Amino acid sequence: MKPVDLKAMFELKTPALRRIGRAVRADMDAGLRNRRSTLLMLPAFCDAATGREKGRYLALDLGGTNFRVMMVRLAGRGRKPAVLAEAKYKLTHDQITGEGRVLFNAIAGYVKVFLRENGFSGRYGLGYTFSFPVKLLGIDEGILLRWTKGFTARGVVGGKVVALQKAALARRNVASVDIRAVANDTVGTLQARAIRDPGCVMGVILGTGFNICLRLPVSRIRKSIGAYGRSHMIINMEAGGFGRGLPRTAYDRRLDRASKNPGAQRAEKMISGKYLPLLVREIVLDLVKREKLFGGKIPEIFRSPDGFKAHYMDILECGSAARRRELAGLMLGRAFTPAERATLKTVCHVVAQRSARIAAALMSAALSRAVPADGGRGATIAVDGSLFEKYPGYEAMLKKAMGELAGARGRRAALELTKDGSGIGAAIIAAVAGT
């Protein structure tokens, strides 16, 4: 197989994106009606922030292998929030994949250390960004429907995540925090932008995971939202779970089978930063097997799934000669031949490009439904995540595909990098919950 075949295999032209978009819209509608759908469309029990939110809040961010704690001050009147203190803790394999109690205990322990080390001795309202499919029962409690992104901690799925966290805080004698809100990272990202931009209609994460939230009128939500008294609500699509009509290759299927959640998160496995290097690895292993690469010998780095890191893709696509040499040394103990370099570059490029184009199809479909708080036709999409922020050319590919889908008359939106939604956004949601 030549690289040119790979290009064809991973190519998605505009009509193919339109087909995906139609399937996304159908699943969005079904999900909002509680019918069978690959999109969960989970109510977030809050509307977009207004910018008037004020006060000091603690924010917890669980969603990847780094767990973060922050103290955030919201100044109101659309002014920029301040992060007063922040700490990041690396979660261990055991904490992520062992007993749920171990994970929640660890988090409670980190909160305790954070408060002590920073001398925060008051009582604090807390916003908890819990970036997994959580079915909220209200703004301050929710049930974990399933784990994603490699998390498998036992005894949590089906359980109430805030109650589990509160119990662990009590076990660690942390009595000074009050969990006011639990939210998805996409919702935090939307809120972090909404406080200064009423045109913000969507929050998107393109990082380790992939997901979208959007603002909708409650009349479109045909499932129980209890006594929520406002006209609009943000919906967490769990867009990474989308799985209808995606053109999967043999590589996608192999990756899926080897994953911790076979069959689930199909879009995420074609889009997000956790999976793109794994996809590159599957292709490389196949090319080596067919003796089209590295003389038929598998380099050590590709032997185990976590050997080939996400940032190697940036280097192979457009890193400096020095960084490429360094990576070749690590991979092969020698420089790349021109043919090897070209093949690896193509592999990374086709995988990243397809990711951006599928993400664009999902985002455009969501945009066609989302309603801004300022009632205007223009819209902003708040985006966070390393893939969007750092991958060379990713933002441009995403914008190009969204432009193709909008055509001459479709709605267009500005994509705005919005950092730290899971920190600042969580604080905002805790403040909104208090009003």
Q: Would you call 68 a catalytic residue per the annotation? A: yes
Q: Is residue 105 close enough to count as binding ligand GLC by CB under 6 A?
A: no
Distance CA 357, CA 401 (A): 6
- Contacts (CB under 6 A) with ligand GLC, residues 257-276: 268
Region near ligand GLC per CB under 6 A, out of 105-113, 206-214, 219-227, 348-356: 206-214
Q: With contacts defined by CB under 6 A, how many residues of the chain interact with ligand GLC?
A: 16
Cα 168-182-26 angle, rounded to 5 deg: 135
| CA 368 to mean position of chain CA atoms | 20
CB 136 within 8 A of CB 42: yes
Per CB under 6 A, 148 contacts ligand GLC: yes
Phi–psi pair at 250, nearest 5 degrees: -60, -30
Which range touches ligand GLC (CB under 6 A), out of 69-77, 87-95, 178-186, 217-225?
178-186
CB of 190 to ligand GLC, least distance (A): 11
- Under the binding rule (CB under 6 A), the answer on residue 131 touching ligand GLC is yes
Our finding on whether 129 is near ligand GLC (CB under 6 A) is no
What's the Cα-to-Cα distance from 301 to each of 283, 298, 305, rounded to whole Å?
Answer: 14, 8, 9
* Pairing between β-strand 134-138 and β-strand 141-144 as defined by DSSP bridges: antiparallel
Greatest pairwise CA separation for the chain in angstroms: 65
Question: Among residue numbers 14 through 33, which ones bind ligand GLC (CB under 6 A)?
Answer: none
As measured in angstroms, the least distance from the Cβ of 156 to ligand GLC is 13
Q: Which stretch binds ligand GLC (CB under 6 A): 173-181, 202-210, 219-227, 404-412?
A: 202-210
Handedness of CA 421, 423, 426, 430 (dihedral sign): negative
Question: Helix, strand or coil for residue 244?
Answer: coil
61 binds ligand GLC (CB under 6 A): no
Closer CB to ligand GLC, residue 195 or residue 237?
Answer: 237
Could you tell me the two tokens for 205? Answer: 């994460």
Q: Does 185 bind ligand GLC (CB under 6 A)?
A: yes
* Residue from 185, 197, 256, 314 carrying the catalytic annotation: 185
Examine the residue annotation and report whether 386 is marked as an active-site residue of this protein. Answer: no
Q: Is 133 in the site for ligand GLC (CB under 6 A)?
A: yes
Give the β-pairing of 210-217 and 200-206. Answer: antiparallel
Catalytic residue, from 68, 172, 324, 357: name it.
68
Three-state DSSP state, 404: helix
Pick the catalytic residue from 27, 47, 61, 131: 131
CA distance 305 to 285: 11
The answer to the question of residue 209 lying near ligand GLC (CB under 6 A) is yes
- Which of 205, 276, 362, 370 contacts ligand GLC by CB under 6 A? 205
Amino acid identity, position 151: F
Q: Is 52 a catalytic residue?
A: no
Amino acid letter, residue 108: A
Distance separating alpha carbons of residues 144 and 124, to the nearest angstrom:
25
357 touching ligand GLC, by CB under 6 A: no
31 neighbors 39 (Cβ within 8 angstroms): yes
Q: Which two tokens stand for residue 404?
A: 């193709």
Question: Are residues 404 and 17 in contact, defined by beta-carbon separation less than 8 angstroms?
Answer: yes
- Look up tokens 């991958």; give the residue: 391
Q: Is 132 in the site for ligand GLC (CB under 6 A)?
A: yes
Among 96, 141, 149, 282, binds ligand GLC (CB under 6 A): 149
**Residue 186 in contact with ligand GLC, rule: CB under 6 A:** yes
Site membership for ligand GLC, residue 420 (CB under 6 A): no
Closest of 240, 231, 234, 229 to residue 272, by C-alpha: 240
- State in angstroms the smallest separation of the CB of 362 from ligand GLC: 12
- State the residue number with the nearest CB to ligand GLC: 209
Shortest distance, position 377 Cβ to ligand GLC, whole Å:
27
The partner residues of 202 in beta bridges, in order of sequence, read 214, 381
Which of 89-97, 158-166, 203-211, 280-288 is the region at the interface with ligand GLC (rule: CB under 6 A)? 203-211
Judged by CB under 6 A, does residue 43 bind ligand GLC? no
- C-beta atoms surrounding 398 within 10 Å: 24
Q: Minimal distance in Å, beta carbon 410 to ligand GLC?
A: 25
Residues interacting with ligand GLC, by CB under 6 A? 63, 131-133, 148-149, 184-186, 205, 209-211, 238, 240, 268
Residues noted as catalytic: 68, 131, 185
